[in-house]
């Protein structure tokens, strides 16, 4: 296959995002992903339809969910003949899934499909300590009663202990917040700037809800009709009153208000070729133009854990012959307010762009009025793998409203020092 | 017909205690004409989710077809522990059930639940009683269930058997379920049905069973979930409990799906000659 | 699927039968309801009347074509599934004897859930006083017969304009069929202007059409969506975003699409039209079903409560229709069905806002039906008025009292949402282009507001 065609974003559906141990505390990843699919199927009349594929994933996954997406498809109203597979690239999962599917469509390997992601911070798998795990496996291998008794006898009370997977990096032992605090300090991101970004996120998300913007992007689930984390009435004063939770001493700037909370939720995006869209009475909202993934060495401390998008974007821009200012809208995932601000600061920095990116001039600044115009993760919450789908569907709709040719940039940072970015263009 | 409106769904535990202590000495041939009713019962989402999980449904807003039965079952129990109810609840055997969902039920719907019992009928192994449960939303009948229970005793050998289950489907298993030893206790915690025959080998043996057995309504719900979204409604399903499912055990689901619905059966793994439950889903 | 209300099912049980006969309670029969593949009637239909008229010929021919066993006289042994009486030629009250002569012996031969359909002319178009009296008399006799009938049988009157006899066939077929199970003692007007012929409804009469149903997440709206889909329509299910979860479930069940929008939003009409046009190529049928109640005595009703009911139930329809009925929007030959209520006809204590809105809906039907532009585009506008509606208030009154309310109709039982939906589907049918401006009550001939 040598020729390519355009892959269109046709629409999306997500369930409102809930806070950890909130209304979705009892729901599994499969339940939430199935529900998000059901809403998408209903919105686009896909009941009984065989799609090219469904690709989604979750960052925190039970071992029983080895076929999470396929199981969700089987539980949905889609035709059971629709294949599915899981991907996982930490918080970049949802966007990476969209890029994968868009590429398959562009190559003619699929005509349609759904990309998405889901995560539950409430229904996280509980893992027993490594030593106990090995002893339990030995126990299960034991054939005779005597062997079993022997294996059992080896388990010491001190072995018993459980580990709930957290957001800490395996190689550094530091949480994402701790990593981010170092980066924020390196870039001199102030508490005030972070709080302002958080405030804007809440106010913009609230305004979008009021305008009915999410009426065709969301389906309620388990009684929740909008993102639980949203605080429409929050103020700078309220945000300023919160105590810092990451960083140390004077330099600590990060609070629960300017960091995303642990969340539960799922998001899906419908993609298709133009022919498929037309045959199904669907109007493309936007086309996938390009995608890029970067990684940085956060282990040695050479670069901040969440700074990879700062590298991915310039590479993609160069390939497309675009400048950072050639966009009508920017969607930069707010893992922390300081993540967004550090990334913007890096692009504005002459030394960073010269020394790190090898550019003659800095990428420059962006018009902040075009950034996260309907709010982002600080207000909506951030169920890791679901965020990419939320952003792609939101941006596609925003671009379609702005009119043909308008262009949007997506940037999502991810654990492991990775970053996934993409360009969408209104149909 | 006397209708008693209760302020809320009664707690199951005290009812079952009362059922146990008032079991002896029940007599008579008449089932009192009485309807117990609770208005606008709300669905506890955490409990619903636990039910959906244990019966194999997705955790979602739509109620599984057999769930209102669980909601209304304390009303049924309350009917049966009244002094004038002729049969003793302990030892009653759930023979069959029929449930109709007239429309998809949402967890946000306030349900007005009613329970009433029909007359006693002769049976080969004792006497049966029918219990009718209904759910209304804003006056519309949205869900109804008819259960048949057997009170074991001196039966009438001449009773004509009527309305038995259709033949169980033949053929290979569609699914294999390994039912853990604690399934009865787990389902009891979700449903409130703490009948000792489901809880532990010892408590079951005390009531004449070889060991403890799965709740029939669990088996029914598990089969319905395996038959897919059509079981959520609007549809009618029926179940006949033909022999107990002992715990722990491995059972097989076998099913035949046609244009007018499905017939499914649960049988012990590796034993095609016996059937534990037959479920028909008309859809 | 056997469906009956709780009481009807109860009196079908041995104990219920015993109790009902001891107390002299009504013992309603389970109504025959439509299922795909079912014939129009299960037995012979006696067709006769006053003279050999064009109407009689059209009816006989059309019913035979639809597979109905049409007979000229009530046989000795066969039970009749229905009687169709043509009185279009009645000139004088004396001519009503033809009706008596045909019906009187036939009524004793009716099967369970049988149908009586009287066909006449509009009194307003009579040429003289005597003719007008004769025509008006049909309504009285039909309604009385409806009350005389037992065992789930119904009687209804069809008024047809001259030249529209063949167009009345679809209506007569509906009233003979199980689709009209709970329609009793009603008058349906057919004709006016140039009208195409109609046939008795086929198996999937709405195949190829696109329908939008508001308030489709629950209750009657969900049943309407289901029934229209069963009849072949592609259904756009509309409800407020907050009801998105059950709405998605209904849309997926009927293989339609879900549109989350509040009908009071000023862009609701545009959204529905755009969705239907873009996704399904156009819009043929709109069912304005969304409605709310905020029951309170008028003495205790504040402005906000009052306005919310009128806004959702009435003003939103006007606003949406400005878009939906604009030239080029709803396709030519399209249908609009509104949902009124018996409360809008009879009034109901504590429901003044609701009754106002539902009476207003009847006004809308009258207004739209008289609209020359809509007539030119062959767009019909009708309403269904569901009968005994149990509100939260009535749901709190003791069961016995409520049951009495439910039994206060000729069929001695409550209707089901599907009964309302079947009548909506009838109005939507391809053949019903000449049926406009009607408000058909689906109430089992309730005594309220009769």
The model's pLDDT over A67-117, given as tens digits with 9 standing for 90+, comes to: 999 999 999 999 999 999 999 999 999 999 999 999 999 999 999 999 999
Task: Please answer yes or no on whether B235 and C394 come within 8 Å at the CB atom.
Answer: no
pLDDT per residue as tens digits for the range A306-359: 999 999 999 999 999 999 999 999 999 999 999 999 999 999 999 999 999 999
Mean pLDDT of all residues in B247-256: 93
pLDDT at A53 over 90: yes
Closest CA to C424 of C440, C411, C410: C440
3-state SS, residue C399:
helix
CATH code of residue A346: 3.40.47.10
**Is the Cβ–Cβ distance between C239 and C266 less than 8 Å?**
no
Q: Are A389 and A335 in a shared domain?
A: yes
- Which of A26, A28, A222 has its CB closest to that of B61? A222
Task: Please answer yes or no on whether C248 and A42 come within 8 Å at the CB atom.
Answer: yes
For B80, how many CA atoms within 13 A lie in the half-sphere containing its CB? 27
Distance between CA atoms of C321 and C367, rounded to whole angstroms? 12
**Is the Cβ–Cβ distance between C341 and C389 less than 8 Å?**
yes
Instruction: Give a yes or no: residue C202 inside a domain.
Output: no
Task: Please answer yes or no on whether C6 and B232 come within 8 Å at the CB atom.
Answer: no
3-state SS, residue A337:
helix
What radius of gyration do chain A's Cα atoms show?
22
Residues 6+ apart with CB under 8 A from C311: C264
Subunit partners of chain B (3 or more CB pairs within 8 A): A, C
pLDDT at A7 over 60: yes
Q: Show the tokens assigned to C89.
A: 């030629």
Distance between CA atoms of C284 and C287, rounded to whole angstroms? 10
Q: Give chain C's residues under pLDDT 50.
A: 1-4, 389-397
3-state SS, residue A231:
coil
Q: Are A420 and A375 in a shared domain?
A: yes
Percent of chain A with pLDDT over 90: 81
Instruction: Give a yes or no: residue A134 inside a domain.
Output: yes
Strand partners, B94: B149
Percent of chain A with pLDDT over 70: 97
Most confident of A152-161, B252-261, C194-203, C290-299: B252-261
Nearest-CA distance A175 → chain B (Å): 31
> Within an 8 Å CB–CB cutoff, is residue B269 touching chain A?
no
Mean pLDDT of all residues in B49-73: 95
- Which of A28, A30, A221 has its CB closest to that of B61? A221
Instruction: Give a yes or no: residue C68 inside a domain.
Output: yes
CATH T-level topology, domain B2-282: Thiol Ester Dehydrase; Chain A (3.10.129)
Q: Tokens 């590479």 correspond to what residue?
A: A315
Q: Are C19 and C119 in a shared domain?
A: no
Q: Are A187 and A324 in a shared domain?
A: yes
Measured N-to-C along each axis, helices C54-65 and C169-176 cross at an angle, to the nearest 10 degrees, of 60
Q: Are C257 and C310 in a shared domain?
A: yes
- Indicate the domain borders of chain B: 2-282
Residues 6+ apart with CB under 8 A from C5: B141, C406, C413, C414, C416
Distance between CA atoms of B76 and B70, rounded to whole angstroms? 10
Q: Are C77 and C2 in a shared domain?
A: no
Q: Are C418 and C272 in a shared domain?
A: yes
Q: Tokens 């756009």 correspond to what residue?
A: C236
Instruction: Give a yes or no: residue A110 inside a domain.
Output: no
Distance between CA atoms of A291 and B51, rounded to whole angstroms? 43
> Is residue B56 exposed (0-12), middle (13-18) or buried (19+ Cβ within 10 Å)?
middle
Cα separations in angstroms, C196 against C199, C337, C378: 10, 20, 10
Number of domains in chain C: 3
Check residues A172 and A406 and name the one with the higher pLDDT. Answer: A406
Residues 6+ apart with CB under 8 A from C404: none
Interface test with A, best of C213, C226, C244 (most A CBs within 10 A): C244
Distance between CA atoms of A299 and A305, rounded to whole angstroms? 8
Distance between CA atoms of B121 and C13, rounded to whole angstroms? 12
**Is the Cβ–Cβ distance between B147 and B123 less than 8 Å?**
no
Q: Show the tokens assigned to A155.
A: 């388990």
Tell me what the pLDDT averaged over chain A comes to: 93
* DSSP at A122: S
3-state SS, residue C279:
helix
Nearest-CA distance B139 → chain C (Å): 5
Cα separations in angstroms, B230 against A16, C214, C248: 26, 24, 15
Domain, as residue range, for C5: 1-26
Mean pLDDT of all residues in B104-113: 93
**Among residues 228-257 of chain B, which lie with CB inside 8 Å of chain A?**
229
3-state SS, residue C26:
coil
Closest CA to A123 of A5, A13, A31, A206: A31
Closest CA to A72 of A102, A111, A27: A27
Whether residue A382 lies in the annotated active site: yes
Q: Are A143 and A180 in a shared domain?
A: no
Q: Which H or E element spans position B21?
A: helix B12-21
Lowest mean pLDDT among A4-18, A197-211, C18-32: C18-32
Q: What is the pLDDT of residue A250?
A: 77
Q: Show the tokens assigned to A23.
A: 């209304």
Q: Are C181 and C215 in a shared domain?
A: no
Distance between CA atoms of C285 and C427, rounded to whole angstroms? 10
Give the number of beta-carbon pairs within 8 Å between B and C: 86
**Is the Cβ–Cβ distance between C125 and C113 less than 8 Å?**
no
pLDDT at B275 over 70: yes
Domain, as residue range, for A153: 127-163
**Is the Cβ–Cβ distance between C191 and C168 less than 8 Å?**
yes
Q: Show the tokens assigned to A73.
A: 């498809």
Q: Are C357 and C230 in a shared domain?
A: yes
Q: What is the pLDDT of residue C201?
A: 64
pTM of the predicted model, to two decimals?
0.89
Q: Are A148 and A183 in a shared domain?
A: no
Instruction: Give a yes or no: residue C447 inside a domain.
Output: no
3-state SS, residue C325:
coil
Interface test with C, best of A11, A14, A38, A43 (most C CBs within 10 A): A43
Instruction: Give a yes or no: residue C201 inside a domain.
Output: no
Q: Show the tokens assigned to A2.
A: 């040598």
Phi, psi for residue A177 in degrees, rounded to 5: -60, -40
Q: What is the pLDDT of residue B219?
A: 96
What ranges make up the beta strands (E) of A102-196? Answer: 112-119, 127-128, 162-163
Q: Which H or E element spans position C155?
A: strand C154-160
Instruction: Give a yes or no: residue A370 inside a domain.
Output: yes
**Among residues 231-250 of chain C, which lie with CB inside 8 Å of chain A?**
234, 237, 241-245, 247-249
Whether residue A298 lies in the annotated active site: no
Instruction: Give a yes or no: residue C112 inside a domain.
Output: yes
Q: Which H or E element spans position A273?
A: strand A263-273
Query: C56: alpha, beta or left, given left = phi > 0 and alpha = psi -120 to 50?
Result: alpha
ipTM topping 0.85: yes
**Is the Cβ–Cβ distance between B123 and B159 less than 8 Å?**
yes
Q: What is the pLDDT of residue C393?
A: 37
Q: For residue B45, which residues of chain A lie inside 8 Å, CB to CB?
A: 23, 26, 222-223
Q: What is the pLDDT of residue C2?
A: 39
Residues 6+ apart with CB under 8 A from A69: A33, A54, A55, A56, A57, A84, A85, A86
Residues 6+ apart with CB under 8 A from A208: A214, A374, A375
Closest CA to A225 of B71, C295, C262: C262
Distance between CA atoms of A33 and B82, rounded to whole angstroms? 46
| Counts of helices then strands in chain B (DSSP H, E) | 6, 11
Check residues B31 and A332 and name the one with the higher pLDDT. Answer: A332
Q: For residue C5, which residues of chain B lie inside 8 Å, CB to CB?
A: 141
Nearest-CA distance B170 → chain A (Å): 24
Mean pLDDT of all residues in A258-279: 96
Strand partners, A266: A118
The gap from C-alpha A369 to its chain's centroid, in whole angstroms, comes to 22
Instruction: Give a yes or no: residue A23 inside a domain.
Output: no
Question: Of the residues C7, C34, C182, C354, which is catalytic?
Answer: C354
Most confident of A202-206, A251-255, C216-220, C389-393: A202-206
Q: Are C314 and C411 in a shared domain?
A: yes
pLDDT per residue as tens digits for the range A345-403: 999 999 999 999 999 999 999 999 999 999 999 999 999 999 999 999 999 999 999 99
Residues 6+ apart with CB under 8 A from A106: A4, A5, A6, A7, A288
**Is the Cβ–Cβ distance between B108 and B88 less than 8 Å?**
no
Q: Are A152 and A181 in a shared domain?
A: no
Distance between CA atoms of A381 and A414, rounded to whole angstroms? 15
Distance between CA atoms of C222 and C134, rounded to whole angstroms? 42
Number of domains in chain A: 2
Check residues C367 and A3 and name the one with the higher pLDDT. Answer: C367
Instruction: Give a yes or no: residue C450 inside a domain.
Output: no
pLDDT band at A41 (very low <50, low <70, confident <90, very high): very high
Alpha-helical runs (H) found in C292-351: 303-310, 316-324, 342-346
* Total count of residues recorded for chain A: 427
CB atoms within 10 A of CB B170: 9
pLDDT band at A150 (very low <50, low <70, confident <90, very high): confident
């Amino acid at each position: 296959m040598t020729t390519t065609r355009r892959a269109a974003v046709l629409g999306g559906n997500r369930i409102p995002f809930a806070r950890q141990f909130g209304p979705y505390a009892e729901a599994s990843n499969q339940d939430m992903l199935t529900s998000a699919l059901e809403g998408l199927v209903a919105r686009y009349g896909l009941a009984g339809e065989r799609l090219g594929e469904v690709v989604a994933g979750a960052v925190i996954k039970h071992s029983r969910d080895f076929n999470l997406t396929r199981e969700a498809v089987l539980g949905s109203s889609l035709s059971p003949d629709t294949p599915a597979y899981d991907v996982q690239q930490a918080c970049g999962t949802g966007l990476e899934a969209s890029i994968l599917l868009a590429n398959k469509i562009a190559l003619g390997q699929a005509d349609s499909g759904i990309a998405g992601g889901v995560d539950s911070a409430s229904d996280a798998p509980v893992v027993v300590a490594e030593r106990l795990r090995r002893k339990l496996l030995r126990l299960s291998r034991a054939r005779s009663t005597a062997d079993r008794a022997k294996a059992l006898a080896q388990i010491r009370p001190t072995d018993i202990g459980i580990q709930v997977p957290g957001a800490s990096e395996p190689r550094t032992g530091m949480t994402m917040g701790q990593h981010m605090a170092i980066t924020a300090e390196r870039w001199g991101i102030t508490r005030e700037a972070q709080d302002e970004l958080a405030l804007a996120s809440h106010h913009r998300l609230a305004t979008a809800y009021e305008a009915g913007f999410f009426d065709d992007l969301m389906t309620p689930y388990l009684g929740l009709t909008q993102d639980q984390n949203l605080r429409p009435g929050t103020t700078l004063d309220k945000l300023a009153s919160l105590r810092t939770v990451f960083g140390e001493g004077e330099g600590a700037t990060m609070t629960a208000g300017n960091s995303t909370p642990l969340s539960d939720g799922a998001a899906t995006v419908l993609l298709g070729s133009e022919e498929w869209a037309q045959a199904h009475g669907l109007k493309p909202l936007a086309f996938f133009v390009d995608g890029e993934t970067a990684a940085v060495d956060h282990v040695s401390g050479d670069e901040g854990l969440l700074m990879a998008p700062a590298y991915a974007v310039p590479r993609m821009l160069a390939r497309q012959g675009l400048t950072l200012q050639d966009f009508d809208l920017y969607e930069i995932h707010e893992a922390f307010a300081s993540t967004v601000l550090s990334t913007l600061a890096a692009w504005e920095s002459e030394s960073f762009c010269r020394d790190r990116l090898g550019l003659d001039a800095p990428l420059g600044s962006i018009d902040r009025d075009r950034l996260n115009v309907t709010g982002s993760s600080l207000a909506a919450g951030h169920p890791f793998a679901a965020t990419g789908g939320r952003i792609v569907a939101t941006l596609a709709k925003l671009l379609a409203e702005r009119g043909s040719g308008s262009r949007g940039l997506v940037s999502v940072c991810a654990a492991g020092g990775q970053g996934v970015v993409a360009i969408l263009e209104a149909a | 017909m006397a209708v008693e409106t209760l302020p809320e769904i009664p707690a199951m535990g005290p009812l079952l205690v009362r059922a146990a202590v008032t079991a002896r000495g029940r007599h008579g041939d008449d089932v009192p004409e009485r309807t117990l009713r609770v208005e606008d019962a709300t669905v506890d989402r955490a409990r619903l989710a636990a039910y959906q999980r244990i019966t194999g449904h997705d955790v979602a807003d739509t109620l599984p077809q057999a769930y209102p039965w669980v909601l209304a079952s304390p009303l049924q129990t309350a009917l049966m522990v009244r002094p004038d109810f002729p049969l003793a609840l302990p030892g009653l055997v759930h023979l069959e059930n029929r449930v109709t969902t007239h429309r998809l039920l949402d967890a946000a719907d306030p349900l007005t639940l009613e329970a009433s019992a029909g007359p006693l009928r002769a049976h080969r192994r004792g006497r049966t009683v029918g219990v009718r449960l209904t759910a209304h939303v804003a006056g519309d009948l949205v869900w109804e269930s008819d259960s048949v229970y057997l009170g074991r005793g001196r039966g009438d050998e001449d009773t004509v058997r009527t309305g038995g289950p259709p033949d169980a489907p033949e053929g290979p298993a569609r699914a294999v379920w390994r039912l853990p030893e604690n399934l009865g206790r787990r389902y009891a915690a979700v449903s409130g049905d703490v009948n000792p025959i489901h809880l532990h080998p010892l408590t079951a043996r005390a009531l004449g069973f070889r060991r403890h057995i799965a709740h029939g309504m669990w088996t029914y719900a598990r089969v319905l979930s395996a038959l897919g979204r059509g079981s959520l409604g609007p549809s009618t399903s029926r179940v006949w409990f033909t022999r107990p499912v002992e715990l722990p055990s491995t059972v097989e689901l076998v099913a035949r799906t046609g244009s007018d619905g499905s017939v499914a059966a649960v049988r012990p793994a590796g034993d095609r000659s016996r059937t534990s439950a037959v479920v028909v889903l008309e859809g | 699927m056997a469906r009956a209300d709780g009481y009807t099912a109860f009196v079908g049980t041995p104990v219920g039968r015993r109790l009902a006969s001891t107390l002299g309670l009504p013992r309603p029969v389970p109504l025959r309801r439509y299922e795909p593949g079912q014939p129009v009637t299960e037995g012979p239909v006696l067709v006769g009347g006053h003279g050999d008229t064009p109407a009689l010929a059209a009816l006989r021919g059309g019913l035979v074509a639809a597979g109905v066993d049409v007979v000229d006289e009530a046989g000795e042994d066969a039970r009749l599934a229905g009687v169709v009486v043509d009185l279009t030629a009645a000139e004088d009250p004396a001519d009503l004897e033809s009706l008596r002569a045909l019906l009187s012996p036939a009524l004793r031969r009716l099967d369970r859930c049988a149908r009586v359909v009287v066909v006449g002319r509009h009194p307003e178009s009579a040429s003289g006083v005597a003719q007008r009296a004769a025509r008006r008399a049909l309504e009285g006799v039909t309604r009385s017969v409806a009350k005389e009938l037992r065992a789930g049988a119904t009687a209804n009157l069809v008024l047809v304009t001259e030249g529209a006899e063949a167009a009345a066939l679809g209506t007569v077929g509906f009233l003979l069929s199980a689709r009209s199970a709970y329609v009793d003692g009603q008058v349906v007007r057919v004709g006016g202007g140039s009208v195409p012929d109609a046939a008795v409804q086929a198996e999937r009469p709405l195949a190829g059409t696109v329908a939008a149903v508001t308030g489709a997440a629950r209750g009657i709206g969900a049943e309407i969506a289901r029934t229209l889909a069963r009849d072949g329509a592609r259904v756009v299910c509309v409800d407020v975003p907050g009801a998105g979860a059950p709405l998605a479930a209904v849309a997926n069940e009927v293989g339609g699409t879900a549109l989350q929008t509040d009908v009071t939003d000023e862009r609701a009409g545009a959204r529905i039209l755009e969705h239907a046009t873009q996704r399904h190529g156009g819009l043929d049928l709109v069912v304005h079903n969304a409605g709310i109640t905020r029951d309170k005595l008028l003495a205790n009703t504040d402005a906000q409560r009052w306005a919310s009911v009128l806004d959702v139930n009435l003003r939103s329809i006007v606003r949406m229709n400005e878009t939906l009925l604009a030239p080029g929007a709803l396709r030519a030959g399209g249908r609009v069905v509104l949902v009124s209520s018996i409360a809008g006809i009879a009034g109901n204590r504590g429901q003044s806002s609701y009754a106002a809105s539902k009476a207003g809906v009847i006004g809308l039907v009258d207004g739209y039906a008289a609209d020359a532009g809509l007539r030119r585009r062959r767009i019909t506008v009708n309403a269904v008025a569901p009968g005994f509606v149990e509100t939260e208030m009535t749901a709190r009154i003791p069961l016995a009292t409520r049951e009495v309310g439910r039994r206060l109709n000729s069929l001695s039982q409550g209707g089901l949402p599907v009964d309302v939906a079947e009548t909506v589907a009838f109005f939507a049918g391809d053949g019903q282009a000449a049926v406009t401006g009607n408000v058909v009550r689906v109430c089992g001939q309730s005594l309220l507001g009769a």
